[in-house]
Amino acid sequence: MSPLPPALLPDNATIGPAGRLAIGGCDVVELAAEFGTPLFVYDEAELRSRCREAVAAFGDGVAYAGKAFLCRAMARLAHEEGMHLDVATGGEMHVALSAGIPAARLVMHGNNKSSRELEAALQAGVGRIVVDSHDELDRIESTVTSEGCDAPAVLIRVNPGVEAHTHEFLRTGAADSKFGLAVESGEARRAVDRAAASPAMRLVGIHAHIGSQVFDVASFRREVDVLAPIVNDFALPELSVGGGLGVAYVEGESAPSITEWGATVRRAASEAGIGARVTAEPGRAIVAHAAVTVYTVGTLKRIDGIRTYLAVDGGMSDNPRPVLYGSGYEAFLPRAVDAARPERVRVVGKHCESGDIIVAEARVPADVSVGDLVATPVTGAYGHSMGSNYNMVRRPPVLFVKDGNARLVVRRETYEDLLGRDVG
């Protein structure tokens, strides 16, 4: 029955006298009228303050994990606020470089970087390469030799075997993983030894990432404890604890702040005698809470004794997380944010899949009707970035709103865009 918890709305959301939602001083109903739906609306000031919080919590070197949400405006924003930028593919690197981010501020990730990606990263002069395998060490050595590039600064990605309590598909730190080199088997030390001895690279540290949507900061403390002996034995100057800090998506959840996370990690590092620079690479914790997705209700189907389906004009193509992970979200009406929500509905999209669900068990005001706007909060991470063109649905635009101004940073896809690569 209860209204949407305001804590799930972006920091600079306000509710007007009639119950209407504004974000960054922009009325969301008016934004939808001007830009159409579906629509991603990001609170730019919140994005900036999360970046500043990360820099304050971890210091220089902390990187924004671009895969959570990447476009040129976001890359520039993170850079302007003092963050480095993680890129995991040649495509992400291309976006970051085309945004004008200096290559020295980029950290190149990926468990299967191609020779071309490595060549491009080395030629651009990326600040760090995080090496995920012995094959990659081979490839860096041969590329540096054949291209005559400078030896890059590298971190070895190790697998600490720490199981974060999170969804199985998000868990990357356990022994059975495609990521990193295992600490327990000694593989991590062998790779560190090899990198330290190689003239083709400059070993600066190790890196680990224990998973995503981690709510218990004690998991990061265990990670630091497992990594400390390697950092200390090799006197490495840098340690990156990865990303993964969780965010609250639905009523009743609460997550640690970036500040609390940083304090825990730094305390653990100092207690473990680590003198290295300790950094992290948050993605979700920077962008998730800052955005809402706005849809238009197209059909309401009441199946007596079973359920009501509320279908909107987007779906798994703008937010695949419910399908991939069974993730939960809330729903609300931007015209009546503080209204009670007695009506149980399932919010579904327009795709040709029964699994095309946005909110499996949503509650909405009783007067919801066709033509209404319905919105989902906390959709700033892994929605736009994991989106698709399934059913040739055009991907939605992205707005940054701040101080009463709305700035279009990604336009809506057009039907022509859908044919752009179709050369048959």
Ligand X SMILES: *Cc1c(COP(=O)(O)O)cnc(C)c1O
Binding site for ligand X (CB under 6 A): 65, 67-68, 86, 109, 209, 212, 242-245, 281-285
Calpha distance 399→413 (Å, rounded): 14
Greatest C-alpha distance within the chain: 71
Cβ nearer to ligand X, comparing 212 with 319: 212
The owner of tokens 């730019």 is: 44
CB of 96 to ligand X, least distance (A): 15
Establish whether 51 is a catalytic residue. Answer: no
- Strand segments, DSSP code E, in 232-290 are 238-240, 277-279
CB of 245 to ligand X, least distance (A): 6
Cβ nearer to ligand X, comparing 4 with 236: 236
Q: Residue 14: beta bridge partners?
A: 22
Cβ nearer to ligand X, comparing 67 with 289: 67
Cα dihedral angle (351, 345, 166, 207), rounded to 10 degrees? Answer: 50
User: If you ran DSSP here, which 8-state letter would residue 52 be given?
Assistant: H
The owner of tokens 């399934």 is: 390
Calpha distance 319→221 (Å, rounded): 32
Check: CB of residue 389 under 8 Å from CB of residue 317: yes
DSSP sequence for 75-111: HHHHHHTT-EEEE-SHHHHHHHHHTT--GGGEEE--S
CB of 155 to ligand X, least distance (A): 10
CB of 207 to ligand X, least distance (A): 7
CB of 364 to ligand X, least distance (A): 29
Calpha distance 119→114 (Å, rounded): 9
Cβ nearer to ligand X, comparing 67 with 221: 67
Cβ nearer to ligand X, comparing 37 with 319: 319
CB of 31 to ligand X, least distance (A): 26
Cα dihedral angle (363, 369, 371, 377), rounded to 10 degrees? Answer: -10
Q: Residue 159: which residues within 8 A CB-CB, separation 6 or more? A: 172, 173, 174, 175, 177, 179, 180, 181, 182, 183, 188, 208
Length of the chain in terms of residues written: 424
CB atoms within 10 A of CB 419: 10
CB of 215 to ligand X, least distance (A): 12
Cβ nearer to ligand X, comparing 68 with 200: 68
Q: Would you please indicate which residues are annotated as catalytic (active-site) residues? A: 352
